[in-house]
Structure 1
């Protein structure tokens, strides 16, 4: 069992930024991924609230865990009180900080209650209709200034950090150097405080579009495909064994003494 005191704290993560230490971060969805990340020494894990559980916290070991609070009615979180209640619930399970892409007033309520909040700037997937869809943000001086201003508003309400997604590398570096917030870079270049990737991109089994910033280290897609073929083959063999009577064989059944069986038959015939 990992004790709370053996895990990094908000203060530790801030100290890493102060030292200029690069921070590694992965988005994971399974116990195996969380355990592998912990064994590999990854600094921060991002885990959506729907995947977060005591078992997931245990699998994450000494990793600092960011729990994603589901955005909007789909997650039944609408009001500040909804978000606060969910943050407190996940804190009880060992969440270390909380991703929240809701409004500033909701984020401020969390901050005012000492909840370490990670917001989102740049390309914000849940709000990208305002910035023209899934594309880079901050490529003009005006757009970059809007990202800067957003970060400053987050500073003012007391946020701990912000995901900084798909902005030019020079903009990301300038912002990261000029804010106390921990800037978690995803497609934001080497100047961000952290480098953040999805486990599915790292492992090579991304479904759908693979973003430019993704780097694949293993080809799990081929292995998953191989396993699916093996799964189908095994199921077909089982089907055939059942149809032909090969399964179950004597070693798969519970034996009974002949005398006891005869007594049983006599009993049900009487």
Structure 2
């Protein structure tokens, strides 16, 4: 069990300055959050990926503010020593600065998470600035942005041309100036991620962005082999939990059918003198 202490907002820049790497995974419920809290992992994202992983949606666009708050709240309770990021879902910040601040306020007030995350580069600067002015920590997200993946040509590597690589660097610089304390960079070539990382003084948190970023991000269900057969190229599976769970369930089923379970060890064995009623 880890004896970690929770990161502070100043630790993010400090870790970058010191060249200290850190890690970042997802959770959507109390039990998983408590397991991660017992590990050395510093950050949990309650991501809108819960749409697919917890709710069975085909994408993230259908996830609501109520969905996010419902899942962020137990994660905060389960992981008191871990920095918790609450994702702003599609439609919660793209209408206006005022609505973005209102929804960011709601996430912080109703869940007590440590920051919000929203997707987008220079086109989201006014939203980010407004939320930061409201006193809320903002994590940016550029590269592959799942909420708008269809407009990017689907789920594919971003920043693969000189023009798009330049745009990512410009986005990162702009997001830092707007007040983001860190930026998720998703699905970009390693050398582009390195250039983005070197262009800013805040940490770049990479998912599918190679080894040169400040922090590595993975979806917990992906890295533990829980999420069926779907495995992006950038995911290393550190365990095969789904296989273990299915095997355990099948063993329970077999023992039930054959009368092996429950044995006396798993039964209450007190002798009771039962009056004869028939």
Work out whether the TM-score is over 0.5: yes
Matched, 1:52 2:72: yes
Partners of 1:43 and 1:34 in 2: CA distance: 12
Partner in structure 2 of residue 247 of structure 1: none
Matches within 5 A, 1:139-158: 139-158=160-179
Matches within 5 A, 1:238-249: none
Partners of 1:237 and 1:113 in 2: CA distance: 62
Label 1:230 to 1:107 Cα distance change in 2 as closer, same or farther (>3 A). Answer: farther
How far residue 232 of structure 1 moved from its aligned partner, in angstroms, is: 5.1
Partners of 2:135 and 2:202 in 1: CA distance: 15
* Structure 1 outlier segments of 4+, above 4 Å: 76-79, 230-238, 254-258
Deviations 1:70-127 (A, max 9, x none): 2216xx9854444333433443443112111263332221112121111211111111
Matches within 5 A, 1:69-80: 69-72=88-91, 78-80=95-97
Partner in structure 2 of residue 173 of structure 1: 194
Partner in structure 1 of residue 40 of structure 2: 41
* SS of equivalent to 2:80: coil
Partner in structure 1 of residue 13 of structure 2: 14
Partner in structure 2 of residue 226 of structure 1: 247
Partner in structure 2 of residue 100 of structure 1: 118
* SS of equivalent to 2:176: helix
Label 1:228 to 1:78 Cα distance change in 2 as closer, same or farther (>3 A). Answer: farther
In terms of fraction of residues, the more helix-rich structure is 1
Equivalent residues of 1:202, 1:215 under 8 A apart: yes
Equivalent residues of 1:71, 1:101 under 8 A apart: no
Partners of 2:238 and 2:23 in 1: CA distance: 15
Matched, 1:66 2:85: yes
Partner in structure 2 of residue 266 of structure 1: none
Partners of 2:167 and 2:249 in 1: CA distance: 47
Q: Any gaps of 5 or more consecutive residues in structure 2?
A: 48-67, 260-268
Deviations 1:123-152 (A, max 9, x none): 111112232111101111111011112212
Matches within 5 A, 1:100-139: 100-101=118-119, 103-139=124-160
Label 1:110 to 1:172 Cα distance change in 2 as closer, same or farther (>3 A). Answer: same
Matched, 1:188 2:220: no
How many aligned positions are there? 240
Label 1:128 to 1:230 Cα distance change in 2 as closer, same or farther (>3 A). Answer: same
Deviations 1:15-49 (A, max 9, x none): 11111000111111232221221211111111133
How far residue 231 of structure 1 moved from its aligned partner, in angstroms, is: 5.8
Equivalent residues of 1:9, 1:96 under 8 A apart: no
Q: Any gaps of 5 or more consecutive residues in structure 1?
A: 1-5, 239-250, 262-270
Partners of 1:207 and 1:88 in 2: CA distance: 35
